[in-house]
Amino acid sequence: RALLARIEATDSRVNAYITVTPDEALAAAEAADRRIAAGAMTPLTGVPVALKDIFVTRGIRTTCGSKILGKFIPPYDGTVVAKLREAGAVIVGKLNQDEFAMGSSGESSAFGATNNPWNLACTPGGSSSGSAAAIAARSATATLGTDTGGSIRQPASHCGCVGLRPTYGRVSRYGVIAYASSLDQVGPVTRDVTDCALMLGAVAGHDPLDSTSIDLPVPDYAAALTGRVKGLRLGLPKEYYREGLDPDVKRALDAAIETYRGLGAEFVEVSLPHTDYAVATYYLIATAEASSNLARYDGVRFGHRADGAANLIDMFRRSRAEGFGAEVKRRIMIGTYALSSGYYDAYYLKAQKVRTLIMQDFMKAFEQVDALLTPVAPTPAFKIGEKVDDPLQMYLSDIFTIPVNLAGTCAISVPAGMSAAGLPIGLQLIGRPFGEETILRAAH
Ligand code: GLN
C-alpha cells in the first residue's frame, strides 16, 4: 500500500509506469503474508517489483512501449515473470521504455517520455527508462529491464541505480519481446548491489523454453559479496579513456580508481583495438535482427489492425504504418536494407566478422585481468529533446556499453559520484563470460 501511494504521489511527474496493477498487487501481497506466516519465504517474498513493459505478463497489458501492442493482453507469463511470482515477489506494474527497446532516452515510447527524478528536464536514459526512474523515484523496490546495447546500464548510470546486464544465456528470454535476439539479455535495476545479486539469483538459470539459455548452476550471488577486492586485477581499456570524455565523468572514474587502489586492487592498461567499429557493427546486426523479429506485427495474429483496408497487403501496410513509431520504422528500413540481396555480404556478413574480432579483443584482455573498469556513458543524463532529432548522436551515447553485448559477456553499472550539476554518474565493471560474481563483488 505504501508503494502504491508512492507511485500515486510521484508518477504524474516521472511517468515511469505504463500500467499499474493495484488489485493484483494487493492480492499477491496478501498471499506473501500467508507464505511468510507459514515460514516458506524467499528473499523476494512480499517485495514489490515492477517490470519493463517488454516482459510478457499473463492477463496484464504488455505494450513494449508501442502503439502496435497498445491493447495486447498476453495469455501467458514469460519465464522470468513466472520465477518472480514463484519467489513470492509482488508485481506492481509495467514500466515505460523506448518503443521495442530502441533508444537511449525513453523518448521513443508511444506512452510519452519518462523524466529523470534527479532533474525532471533530463531523460533517465533508456531504453529501460522506467526501470531506472522508478528505482530513483522510490516508486519500485526492484525492477527488471533488458539490455541489447546498454539499456540497463546506461539508465542505471543516469539515475544513480545499480544495473546488471548478465552474460548472454544466463537468463531466459522466453516471454521477453524480441528486439535483437543475439544481443538481448534480461537483468535487474536496483537500489544497491545486494538487491541486484538477489534479483539476479531469482531469475537466472537454464530454461528448456529458451534454447540459448545455458545449463550452468546458478551461484549464490549474494554470498559473493565478501567486500574483498585485494589482489583483484582491473583493466583500463585505453580506447575508453580518450580526450573528449566529459570532465565530470573523468573525475568520478579517477576517484573510483583511487578508492579501488586503496582497497588493494591492481590496475593494468589493456587495449580493445576494435572499439571504434562497435557502434557501426551493432547498428547493422541489431537492425537486421529487429527487422526480422518485428515482421510478426502484421495486424493478423495480435496487435493493432488498421480499419478500412482494401486488401490483405494494404492491411499489413496500414497496420504497421499506424502502429510503429518513427525510430522503429527507421530501424526496420536499415535492417531490411542490410539483409537484402546484394548488400548482405557487404554489410551484415562483414558486421558478423567484426563482431568476432570485438569478442576476441575482450577474451585477450581477460587473459590479463579479472574485469575491466570503464565509463558507462560519455556524459551524465542529457536534456529531454536534446538528441531526439539527431539519431546518430543518440546512437553514440552507447559507445561504452555496446561492445559488451557484441562480445556476449556481463557488465554492471554502479553509482560512482555526482556531476557538478547534481546528476548521478555510474562506472562500469565488465566481467568474463559468467563472471557475474566477480563484478558484483567489485561493485559491492
Ligand atoms: N540504445 C541502443 C539501441 O537503441 C540500445 C538499446 C537496448 O539496449 N535495448 O539499440
Given the CA of residue 150, which atom of ligand 1 is nearest to it? 8
**Which of 54, 99, 109, 148 has the most ligand 1 atoms within 8 A of CB, as the residue to mutate?**
148
**Predicted pLDDT of residue 242:** 84
Spatial distance between the Cα atoms of 52 and 61, rounded to a whole number of angstroms: 12
Cell numbers at 358, concatenated? 570485438
What string of DSSP letters covers 255-285?
A: HHHHHHHHTT-EEEEE--TTGGGHHHHHHHH
The residue whose C-alpha atom lies closest to atom 10 belonging to ligand 1 is 102
Contact (CB, 8 A) for 188 and 404: no
Q: Is 151 an active-site residue?
A: yes
Q: CA distances (Å), 241 to each of 160, 366, 374, 377, 400, in order?
A: 22, 18, 8, 12, 10
Residues 6+ apart with CB under 8 A from 235: 267, 268, 269, 270, 365, 368, 369, 371, 372, 373
**ipTM of the predicted structure?**
0.97
Q: Is the pTM of this model over 0.95?
A: yes
Active-site choice (108, 127, 319, 413):
127
The Å distance, Cα 126 to ligand 1 centre, comes to 7
Domain 2-224 has CATH 3.90.1300.10: yes
103 lines ligand 1 (CB under 6 A): yes
What does the alpha-carbon distance between residue 277 and residue 328 come to, in Å, rounded to a whole number?
23
Please give the number of the atom of ligand 1 that sits closest to the Cα of 179.
9
d(CA 253, CA 247): 10
Q: What radius of gyration, in Å, describes the C-alpha atoms of the chain?
A: 21
Decide: 198 and 44 in contact? Cβ < 8 Å. yes
Q: For this structure, is 104 an active site residue?
A: no
Q: At what angle do helices 79-86 and 193-203 cross, to 10 degrees?
A: 110
Q: Which residues contact 361 (CB under 8 A, 6 or more apart)?
A: 271, 272, 273, 274, 275, 403, 407
397 a catalytic residue = no
pLDDT tens string for the chain (444 positions)?
A: 999 999 999 999 999 999 999 999 999 999 999 999 999 999 999 999 999 999 999 999 999 999 999 999 999 999 999 999 999 999 999 999 999 999 999 999 999 999 999 999 999 999 999 999 999 999 999 999 999 999 999 999 999 999 999 999 999 999 999 999 999 999 999 999 999 999 999 999 999 999 999 999 999 999 999 999 999 999 999 999 987 789 999 999 999 999 999 999 999 999 999 999 999 999 999 999 999 999 999 999 889 999 999 999 999 999 999 999 999 999 999 999 999 999 999 999 999 999 999 999 999 999 999 999 999 999 999 999 999 988 888 888 899 999 999 999 999 999 999 999 999 999 999 999 999 999 999 999
Strand partners for 352: none
